[in-house]
């Protein structure tokens, strides 16, 4: 897909992978709106890249998602590309009761419920475009679970499965469904994990190259090898990732 002259909405776009994609897309001529829960972070991103538009939105809040869709329609005439990137990651020991149940369920609601809400409210507008895309950011941890991040790993497996079904249902429409499956990326969200990571720049470069090439499943860096290994030797990798 050529993103030049496209209007792109990126959830969780104030930092990390989302901001990296946002900067790359503005460089390619896209109009990019980034969203997130923390306005100050969005403003910092916009100060560094004035081409960015910003809008606060918590993807776990249906009313805020509805308001975001209305804002995009009224201010930009709708969007062409939706990037579902917002997510949260928590490490905890379940037997020790380290994380309350409501916080575990919030992680599910942000990581899985968020993309579902976004697609529900933005899909009608995307279907009216001659060319559009939904880009779901999952993770290689969908195939190689990381035991301390057991809820996160499970949510990314759910996003992967949902993306496959979404792509099948929309295959005869103008909306392309793309999945970005990053390996561990050197971002604030996973800074405490002592495992090899790739840089945001490397991830984004691979993503943009494969996006232009029309790929529907994008596995930058070691993600493709890890995905394959997760199918061939899942217990071996599970043990390697256990503390």
The single residue listed with the structure tokens 């999945």 is 179
Phi and psi at 143, nearest 5°, equal -110, -25
- Positions annotated as catalytic residues are 152
The single residue listed with the structure tokens 């090439």 is 213
| Radius of gyration for the chain, computed over Cα atoms and rounded to the nearest angstrom | 17
Pairs from 205-208 (Cβ < 8 Å, separation ≥ 24): 205/24, 207/21, 207/24, 207/180, 208/24, 208/25, 208/28
Residue 34 structure tokens: 């980034």
What is the per-residue DSSP string for 162-203?
HHHHHHHHTTTSSEEEEEE----B-SGGGTT--S--B-HHHH
Kindly list the distances between the CA atom of residue 182 and the CA atoms of 26, 40, 63, 98, in Å, as whole numbers in the listed order.
21, 26, 30, 27
Pairs from 231-238 (Cβ < 8 Å, separation ≥ 24): 231/143, 234/143, 234/144, 237/144, 238/144, 238/145, 238/147
> How far apart (Å, rounded) are the C-alpha atoms in residues 146 and 130?
40
């Amino acid at each position: 897909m050529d993103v030049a002259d496209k209007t792109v909405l990126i959830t969780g776009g104030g930092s990390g992978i989302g901001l990296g994609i946002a900067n790359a897309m503005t460089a390619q001529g896209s109009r990019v709106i980034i969203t997130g829960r923390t306005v100050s972070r969005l403003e910092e991103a916009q100060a560094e890249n004035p081409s960015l538009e910003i809008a606060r939105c918590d993807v776990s809040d249906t009313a805020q998602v509805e308001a975001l869709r209305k804002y995009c329609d009224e201010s930009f005439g709708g969007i062409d590309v939706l990037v579902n990137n917002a997510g949260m990651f928590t490490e905890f020991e379940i037997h020790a009761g380290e994380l309350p149940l409501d916080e575990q369920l919030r992680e599910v609601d942000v990581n899985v419920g968020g993309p579902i809400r976004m697609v529900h409210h933005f899909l009608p507008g995307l279907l009216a475009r001659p060319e559009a895309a939904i880009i779901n950011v999952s993770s290689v941890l969908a195939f190689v679970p990381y035991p301390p991040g057991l809820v996160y790993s499970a949510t990314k497996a759910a996003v992967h499965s949902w993306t496959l079904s979404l792509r099948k249902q929309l295959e005869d429409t103008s909306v392309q469904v793309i999945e970005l499956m990053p390996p561990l990326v050197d971002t604030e969200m996973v800074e405490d994990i002592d495992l090899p990571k790739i840089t945001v720049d490397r991830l984004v470069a691979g993503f943009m190259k494969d996006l232009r090439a029309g790929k529907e499943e994008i596995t930058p860096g070691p993600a493709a090898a890890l995905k394959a290994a997760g199918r061939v030797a899942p217990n071996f990798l599970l043990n390697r990732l256990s503390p």
